[in-house]
Structure 1
Amino acid sequence: MAVVNRTPDSFYDRGATFGFDAALTAAATALRDGADIVDVGGVKAGYGAEVTVEEEIRRVVPFVTELRRRHPGALISVDTWRAEVGRACAEAGVDLINDTWAGADPDLARVAAEYDVGLVCSHSGGLAPRTDPHRVGYADVLDDVRRTVAGLAERAVRLGVRPDRVLVDPTHDFGKNTYHSLELSRRLGELVATGWPVLLAVSNKDFIGETLDAPVTERAAGTLATLAVAAWEGARVFRVHDAASARTALAAVAALRAAGPQG
């Protein structure tokens, strides 16, 4: 899953794909480099300038429409927590709604059911959208994540989302400190064991930077290492900024697993 941010203030690319043509080029490059899904976002995840529903729709819907026209066989996802935006994007042809804020808008799952598109169910520790954790604590972070995302997934199915179109995301760094995100990475197999396909979104995130004392421009190696561990543990979808490198790393993991014991 390749990230294309139609925002002027992304933490990673600092607006490199805010321009319409630049975003189209980035999506085409990612698909050429092995991405299966293009995930389009119109609002920065963290603190920043307010983005209204109307502005978010203006940023993402025309782009999704053109992306669908140019790449009819590609899978397209929209990263939003708002039902109004999800509905507009579903009408424009997205295949998946990536709700990174844990059902903050309860109607978003209903939109996914109505339009028969997929839904990512995430964990944010109860935080409101676009807020950062402060002295957050869990008795067991993996247990909290597991109960939350499984509950959201089951609710989505009850509302009419097809079970085979539901993904769960432990959502590293959202409502979590670095220790929590590392713990989730080490114990990801426990989340995989729920049976819900796991999406991993760790690309260049702060927990990698803090662990390695690396600025955002120097987190590629840490990202690939985390992806490899997650793939070995059974994660199924990987949201990344560098599709080519991720595809190579994941192919290596697949080959190692396929080799199996000898003799």
Structure 2
Amino acid sequence: MILQAGTRRLELGARPLLMGILNATPDSFSEERGEEPPSARVARGRALIAAGADLLDIGGESARGDRPAVSVEEEIDRVCTLIASLAGDALISVDTYKPEVAEAAIAAGASIVNDVSGLRDPRLAEVCAASGAGLVLMHTAVAPKGTLLDPATYTDVVEEVVAFLTERMAVARAAGVAEEQLVLDPGPDFAKTPAQTVAILRRLDAVAALGRPILLAASRKDFVGAITARPPAERDPGTLAALGHGVEHGASILRVHDVAGARDYFDVRAVLRGERVLAPLEGLSPERYPDGVPAHLSLG
């Protein structure tokens, strides 16, 4: 499957792409860093790339409902310098629902717009159509910063998520966005109880049937906490189970905090599944055998 992201044309295959989360905010739900200098955020971004991130998702406003929205000007200030500093090192996604921020971010070097509003403002699609940027359409039943945790919200959460994404895809296409620019996100925890999130993730194949790449943003989410009874900072092991399940059911881009852990998980998984062959002497390092690899282990 092809994803067009600005001037980049990505062929999504067996190995999922890892999207490292780089928050340019002091109040992320999973980690409160407080204010930090731009250089520290650039260093965090480069560390994510070194750990194996294929792309970075940079956001300037926390999705937390207990925090106020930031102005367009402040969000642009938070993300654009960071994007410009890192765009030469990795593909950049901007996490925003504001057309003005998306436009500025694309000008700074972003190639994908990750819209957690579900295209509430159609002008965002127009920005992507004009620039060729990829567009992530996420399911949600509330406005940004809104909270909805009600077991009675959906008659059938899977059918309603699929219907919503189908309709939003049509809106994007009507605005001029090409099919190959679209990515779908079922929106784990957004306007969903943990049980509702689990229900849609168990039927991720229904979203995959829409024919576009799936971005799975399951990292450290509340549904993982509901299952494991752990706070956000301790949910990385549980996250790996969700990621493995997601890839088996159609996810091809994984939005994660712990890039190194996810990379290791999928590297080992690939070898055990026969997708990559471990060479006969791979891993037999000089440090392990300072006097040379024993003769019975050599190929000669």
TM-score between both structures, scaled by the size of structure 2: 0.81
2:95 equivalent to 1:76? no
The separation in 2 between residues aligned to 1:135 and 1:226, in whole angstroms, is 22
Whether the 8 Å contact between 1:2 and 1:30 is mirrored in structure 2 is yes
The answer to which of 193-202 and 242-251 deviates more is 242-251
User: d(CA) in 2 for partners of 1:241 and 1:16?
Assistant: 17
C-alpha separation in 1, matches of 2:160 and 2:251: 18
Offset at residue 160 of structure 1 (A): 2.0
In structure 2, stretches of 5+ residues that fail to align are 1-18, 276-300
For residues 40 and 34 of structure 2, the distance between their equivalents in structure 1, rounded to whole angstroms, comes to 7
In the alignment, the residues of structure 2 paired with residue 142 and residue 19 of structure 1 have an alpha-carbon distance, to the nearest angstrom, of 42
Aligned to 2:71: 52
Question: Does 1:199 find its partner at 2:215?
Answer: yes
CA distance in 2, matches of 1:17, 1:5: 11
Residue in 2 that maps onto 1:130: 145
Give the AA of the match of 1:133.
Answer: L
Q: Which of structures 1 and 2 has the bigger CA Rg? A: 2
Distance (whole Å) between structure 2 residues aligned to residue 17 and residue 226 of structure 1: 31
Cα distance 1:144–1:169, how it changes in 2: closer, same or farther (>3 A)?
same
Contact kept, 8 Å, 1:6 with 1:19, in 2: the verdict is no
Residue 7, structure 1, aligned to residue 22, structure 2: no
Alignment-mate amino acid for residue 132 of structure 1: T
- For 1:56, give the aligned amino acid: E
Equivalence for 1:99: 115
Alpha-carbon offset, residue 162 of structure 1: 2.3
Contact (CA 8 Å) 1:17, 1:26: kept in 2 or not?
no
Could you tell me which residue of structure 1 aligns to residue 193 of structure 2?
177
User: SS of 1:38's equivalent?
Assistant: strand
Give the CA deviation at 1:110: 0.7
Inter-partner Cα distance in structure 2 for 1:50 and 1:109: 21
* Structure number with higher strand proportion: 2
Structure 1 stretches lacking a partner, 5+ long: none
**Structure 2 counterparts to residues 97-246 of structure 1, below 5 A:** 97-125=113-141, 127-135=142-150, 137-246=153-262
Paired with 1:256 and 1:193, the residues of 2 have a C-alpha distance of: 27
Take 1:170 and 1:203, find their aligned partners in 2: how far apart are those partners?
Answer: 14
SS in 1 for 2:30: coil
**Percent of aligned pairs sharing the same letter:** 38
Deviations 1:111-157 (A, max 9, x none): 011111000001012x0111111425111111111111122123222
Following the alignment from structure 1 to structure 2, what is the Cα–Cα distance between the partners of residues 17 and 250?
33
Partners of 1:193 and 1:50 in 2: CA distance: 34
CA 176–121 in structure 1, closer or farther in 2 if over 3 Å, else same: same
CA distance in 2 between partners of 1:28 and 1:237 (Å): 19
Q: Which residue in the other structure is 2:284 paired with?
A: none
Structure 1 vs Structure 2 CA RMSD: 1.6
Q: Distance in 1 between matches of 2:236 and 2:137?
A: 26
Among 82, 87, 91, the alignment partner of 1:63 is: 82
- Shift in Å, 1:257: 4.7
Give 1:35's aligned residue: 53
What is the rounded CA distance, in whole Å, between the counterparts of 2:79 and 2:191 in structure 1? 26
Distance of aligned partners of 1:258 and 1:138 in 2 relative to their CA distance in 1, 3 Å threshold: farther
Q: Pick from 34, 43, 58 the counterpart of residue 25 of structure 1.
A: 43
1:92 Cα deviation (Å)? 1.1
Task: Note the alpha carbon deviations across 1:30-87, whole angstroms, 9 max, x for none.
Answer: 1111111100000000120331111111101111112224x2xx21000000001001
Kept in 2: contact 1:90–1:117 (CA 8 A)? yes
Amino acid corresponding to residue 12 of structure 1 in structure 2: S
Q: Which string of whole-angstrom CA distances, capped at 9 and with x for unpartnered residues, describes residues 191-226 of structure 1? A: 112211100001001111012111112111110000
Could you tell me how far apart the structure 1 residues matched to 2:172 and 2:274 are?
34
| d(CA) in 1 for partners of 2:226, 2:237 | 14
